[in-house]
Amino acid sequence: MNDGVVLIIDTDEDICRFFEEKVLTPLGYKILSANNQKQGLEIALLNSPDLILLGESLAGMPELKFLSVLAQSANNSPVVLLTTTASKDDLLAAFRRGMSDFIALPARFDIARETIKRMIDDGNARNQREESDHRLLRVEAVQITMITLSHYINNYLTALDGNLTLLAEYIQQGKGITSLVEIVEHSQINLSCIKMVLQILLNTTSVSFTKYDDSTQMIDIHDEMINELKRIEKKG
């Protein structure tokens, strides 16, 4: 039993019956159907079928209205045109508008089955690749974000370490209270910045991604950093 969902959009009952009974049911696919363009679009947008079989009469030939509307939506279901009369120019136009393949009618069982199965298998493989790519991008984004925040902490720790070293030297040299206070104030700023980065890590619970300087995408920490800086300024 296959998990694929196929939407048939056609007004010809004989064609629909042929594909439902002779092709799709034996292959184990779930079948959705519509006999007009509006209903077909609604079903396609609501269900995102694995494949759409589109009757020539409802494709809006030669304007290809159905393909144009579908392309403007978020739906990426592949469309196979069922045609008896489409010319080469019409087919080329349909491919340019997003049609994935066509089946010439009357169709042979083996050709219809092979085309439908290939389109669904290719779509499943493509979806798996895209999901794998998305997972890799998310992992990379988290890694880049952690590296960026680590650099912030390292820089602030280095500055804090330098201030504390200088403070020790000034104390040994008997420097005036003004110089010592200034170093302590700088150290407090560094410490506040370290706390800020740690707070950003704690606040980053809802993840969105962005890019800085056209580089690899990372978790968007800009807003959280601005908020933390404002809190520091208010405390100062």
User: Any idea where the domains of the chain sit in the sequence?
Assistant: 5-107, 132-235
Scanning the structure block, which residue is given the tokens 């807003």?
223
Within the chain, strands assigned E span 5-9, 30-34, 51-55, 79-83, 101-104, 209-210, 218-219
Cα separations (Å) of 71 from 48, 53, 104, 156, 183? 13, 16, 23, 50, 62
The span from the first CA to the last CA of the chain, in angstroms, equals 67
Can you tell me the distance from the alpha carbon of 8 to that of 21, in angstroms, rounded to the nearest whole number? Answer: 12
3-class DSSP assignment, residue 205:
coil
Cα separations (Å) of 32 from 39, 105, 151? 11, 20, 54
CATH class of 132-235: mainly alpha
Please report, as a single letter, which amino acid is at residue 3: D
pLDDT per residue of the chain (236 residues) written in tens, 0 to 9: 567 899 999 999 999 999 999 899 988 999 999 988 889 999 998 998 999 999 987 766 665 788 888 888 878 899 999 988 878 888 888 888 889 999 999 888 888 999 999 999 888 777 777 777 767 666 676 667 777 778 888 888 898 889 889 888 888 888 888 888 888 888 888 888 888 887 777 666 555 555 555 555 555 666 666 666 666 556 55
Assign a CATH topology to domain 5-107.
Rossmann fold (3.40.50)
